Amino acid sequence: MAPGARRYDPDRRQRIIDAAIRVVGAKGIAGLSHRRVAAEADVPLGSTTYHFKTLDDLLVAALRQANEAYAPALVLRGGEDLAGALARLLGEILEADRSRAELEYELYLAALRRPALRPVAAEWCESVAQALAEHTDPLTARALVAVMDGISLQVLLTGTPYEEGYAHEILTRVLRPG
Tell me the C-alpha to C-alpha distance, in Å, between residue 86 and each of 20, 90, 116, 145, 149: 30, 6, 30, 10, 12
Residues 16 and 96 in one domain: no
Domain hosting residue 37, numbered range: 12-53
Total count of domains within the chain? 2
Tell me the C-alpha to C-alpha distance, in Å, between residue 55 and each of 8, 15, 26, 36, 60: 24, 15, 16, 11, 9
Residues 95 and 126 in one domain: yes
Cα 125 to Cα 134: distance, rounded to the nearest angstrom: 15
Residues 45 and 92 in one domain: no
CATH number at residue 169: 1.10.357.10
Residues 46 and 74 in one domain: no
Could you give the percent of the chain with pLDDT greater than 70? Answer: 90
Residues 85 and 137 in one domain: yes
Cα 54 to Cα 130: distance, rounded to the nearest angstrom: 31
Helix-strand-coil percent breakdown of the chain, rounded to 5? 75, 0, 25
DSSP state at residue 80: -
The reply to whether 59 falls in a domain is no
The reply to whether 61 falls in a domain is no
pLDDT tens-place values along the chain, 178 residues long: 445 445 677 899 999 999 999 999 899 899 999 999 999 999 999 999 999 999 999 999 988 888 777 656 666 677 789 999 999 999 988 988 788 888 888 888 899 999 999 999 898 889 889 989 989 999 999 999 999 999 999 999 999 999 999 999 999 999 986 6
Residues 89 and 34 in one domain: no
Closest CA to 87 of 1, 172, 178: 172
Q: What are 93-125's pLDDT values in tens digits? A: 898 878 888 888 888 889 999 999 999 989 888
Residues 115 and 148 in one domain: yes
Residues 40 and 98 in one domain: no
Closest CA to 114 of 18, 24, 22, 40: 24
pTM: 0.80
Closest CA to 20 of 42, 41, 44: 41
In angstroms and rounded to an integer, the radius of gyration of the C-alpha atoms of the chain is 19
The reply to whether 1 falls in a domain is no
Cα 70 to Cα 101: distance, rounded to the nearest angstrom: 9
The reply to whether 161 falls in a domain is yes
The reply to whether 60 falls in a domain is no
Residues 119 and 157 in one domain: yes
The reply to whether 7 falls in a domain is no
Give the chain's mean pLDDT: 88
